[in-house]
Chain A
Amino acid sequence: MIQGHQSWVFKSKPTILGCGTVGGPFEAKGALAKDFDLLHEDIWVGQDSFEKSEKKLLEEACQIAIKNAKVKKESINFFISGDLMNQIVISSFAARTLNIPYLGIFGACSSSMEGLAIASLLVDNGAAEYALCGTSSHNAAAEKQFRYPTEYGGQKPPTAQWTVTGAGAAVVGKGNGPKVTSATIGKVVDMGISDPFNMGAAMAPAAVDTIEAHFRDLNRDPSYYDIIATGDLGKIGHDIAEEILKKDGFKFQEGVFKDCGKLIYKKDQPVFSGGSGCACSATVTYGHFFKEIKKKKLNKILVVATGALMSPMSYQQKESIPSVAHAVSIES
């Protein structure tokens, strides 16, 4: 049901029945390692290319989510997935393996919440009984496509971020568990940042725009939520977003406004500004936050996944980086 200009309120309260999160070796050393369902010690995951390993991660996350949701794979109506690789091959190839009717989406790193929002909408409207949404990213595969070869010795600036190797998936349906209560679909915002090593600053305005739209549409203020988490802004982008929100009159209590990219790794890991990638918000939401809600440590959260909608070609042609953010609220 539409509320305000760009938000959906899910009246029938679609439920996240089960989640699956998979991570790589670097995530295994991270701050949220215990919240992953499966961790690999090898970034190749036993495959012969980085792209195949990412596909494997996504397949595993989906399978674990289906298992945890205690539903039959055959009863899932739709699979909604997106990733960062060209032509979203990872999602499409995983869909080939899963053999579930498939909708491919692209919102860069915002694909995680875009998928969850669409899955919840389908279930809420009765267009699906069960919907599976997933997303993945792979550090080496993303570096290969967007930046330089993994072993290339180029120095990265402190504004750079570390793409999470992993995948997260969730089964949405009707039943017991954390409910998806609303979603706000974001506008594409471009503030003219063109440095691909400063994605946080490029995406921060999109996050701010969506968060403000969410509160405006739903007539809420930040005190409604226990946690408001941006997807992968990193230290720099998150600081910027917080400053703009404060300037616009939104007050957060201590520890409410967080960022998945800042949560996922430990302070001593060399990740520059923080984590990024589709799997960043997906694994933190479906792993960490989902478990915290189930344990009743958290009641109401808002996840605002942010995506930088650029391609390697667009920045070579000196285009700036347009960004988008989608917000989904999950309540116990």
Chain B
Amino acid sequence: MDCASRYEMAELSHAIGLPNRFFLTREKGEEAYRLLKRRLRATPERCALVLVFPQGQVVDASFADESLMRLGEELVAGEFGDRVALLEGLTEDSIRNLEAIIRLQRAKLVFLLVEPGGGWRHVGPLEPSLLEAFGLAARWRRITAPDLARELRLALNTANNRLRRLHALRLLWREHEVSEKGLRYIYHFWHWKGGSEKHDGEG
């Protein structure tokens, strides 16, 4: 299944009583967290929730900590199953700010920043070996441990471990199939391209 829901963050700021482009203070971050949590729970499993930030947004560290970081921690803890929050439209300043928060908190969180056309980058600590595997998964959209092992000439265990860690960070979602050879995981890159509510079967 390839799908994505989009949520305009300007709508959120309006809902919590902030001016459109402003995402400020810890109290408002808490309110935002509760709204985002509801949104995420309403998103189908294996689907991404794309948080679309308005142009020229101002996000302070306390707001980001209480909303995005908290959501990120709970995603990684598995509280939302195979769902993810992708961030679209963050300015370079906001990205720098988010990087600083992750660094200062020594958080093991990686956020995926996406563009409507399909471009992406990550924010957060991702070691080179994982980034290499992730890049491959993003290119192929769908990957298994044997695929990765073959492509990067890795031991199957190593490939399996890398994909498992990427999944734990919610950078990939996965499904499994049972065959004569046993349980096999198939890992998928998230889908968000095009910005429409739902796309099935698009690569």
Q: A and B bound?
A: no
